[in-house]
Structure 1
Amino acid sequence: MLSSRLNFPLEQAGKLRQALTHRSFSATHNERLEFLGDSVLNLCISGWLMQRLPDASEGELSRTRANLVCEASLHRIALELALPSLLLLGEGERKTGGAQRASILADAVEALIGVVYLEQGFEAVQRLVLRLFGTVDLSATAKAKAKDPKTSLQEWLQGKKMALPLYHLDEVRGVEHQQEFIVSCSIPALQLQAQGIGTSRKTAERMAAAAVLDLLMKKGKKA
Structure 2
Amino acid sequence: MRLSAELKAFEGRLGHHFAKPELLMRAVTHASIGTATRPDNQRLEFLGDRVLGLVMAEALLTADTGAREGQLAPRFNALVRKESCAAVAREIGLGDVLKLGRSEMLTGGRRKEALLGDAMEAVIAAAYLDAGFEAARAMVLRLWGDRIAGVETDARDPKTALQEWAQARGMPPPSYIEAARSGPDHQPLFTVAVQVETGETAEAQAGSKRIAEQQAAKALLARLERPST
Q: TM-score, normalised by structure 2?
A: 0.74
1:2 matched to which residue of 2? Answer: 10
Q: Given residue 176 of structure 2, which amino acid in structure 1 is its aligned partner?
A: L
Determine the C-alpha separation between the residues in 2 that align with 1:53 and 1:210: 27
- Pairwise mapping of residues 29-108 of structure 1 onto structure 2 (< 5 A)? 29-108=40-119
- Relative to structure 1, is the Cα distance of residues 84 and 214 closer, same or farther in structure 2, using a 3 angstrom cutoff? farther
Range with bigger deviation, 187-196 or 3-12: 187-196
Shift of 1:192: 4.2
Give per-residue Cα distances to partners, 1:142-186, cap 9 Å, x unaligned. Answer: 44x1xx432113334666889835242847956xxxxx9865443
Amino acid in the other structure paired with 1:211: Q
1:117-136 mapped onto 2 (5 Å cutoff): 117-136=128-147
Letter in 1 for 2:27: A
| Alpha-carbon spacing, 1:158–1:38, altered in 2? closer, same or farther (3 Å) | same
Q: Which moved more, 1:44-53 or 1:12-21?
A: 12-21
CA pair 60-114 structure 1, distance change in 2 beyond 3 A: same
Radius of gyration: which is bigger?
2
Q: Which runs of 5+ in 1 are unaligned?
A: 175-179, 198-203
1:186 to 184, 193, 211: 193
- Specify the alignment match of 1:201 in structure 2: none
Partner residue in 1 for 2:206: 195
What residue identity is the alignment partner of 1:166? Y
Distance across 2 between alignment mates of 1:130 and 1:195:
27
CA distance in structure 2 between the aligned counterparts of 1:59 and 1:126, rounded to whole angstroms: 24
- Aligned partners of 2:194 and 2:213 also within 8 Å: no
> Once the 2 structures are TM-superposed, how far is the Cα of residue 61 of structure 1 from its aligned partner?
1.3
Aligned equivalents of 2:61 and 2:89: distance in 1? 25
Q: Sort the Cα spacing of 1:158 and 1:192 in 2 relative to 1 into closer, same or farther, 3 A.
A: farther
CA RMSD of superposed structures (Å): 3.2
C-alpha distance after superposition, 1:189-208 (max 9, x if no partner): 465424263xxxxxx52x33
Q: Does the Cα contact within 8 Å between 1:154 and 1:165 map onto a contact in 2?
A: no
Relative to the length of structure 1, the TM-score reads 0.76
Matched letter for residue 151 of structure 2: L
Match of 2:151 among 119, 131, 138: 138
SS of equivalent to 1:55: coil
Note if contact 2:202-2:219 (Cα within 8 Å) is conserved in structure 1: no
Distance 1:196 1:100, change over 3 A: closer
The unaligned stretches of length 5 or more in structure 2 are: 1-8
Match of 2:174 in 1: 164
User: Aligned pair count?
Assistant: 206
- Per mean C-alpha deviation after superposition, the further-off stretch among 68-77 and 41-50 is 68-77
Amino acid corresponding to residue 149 of structure 1 in structure 2: P
Q: Distance in 2 between matches of 1:187 and 1:125?
A: 41
Q: 1:152 aligns with which of 154, 161, 177?
A: 161
Aligned residue for 1:208? Answer: 212
Measure how far apart 1:30 and its partner are: 0.5
Corresponding residue of 1:177: none
* Residues 1:212 and 1:127: Cα distance change in structure 2 (over 3 Å): farther
In structure 1, distance between residues paired with 2:165 and 2:143: 29
**Paired residues of 1:8 and 1:116 also in contact (CA < 8 A):** yes
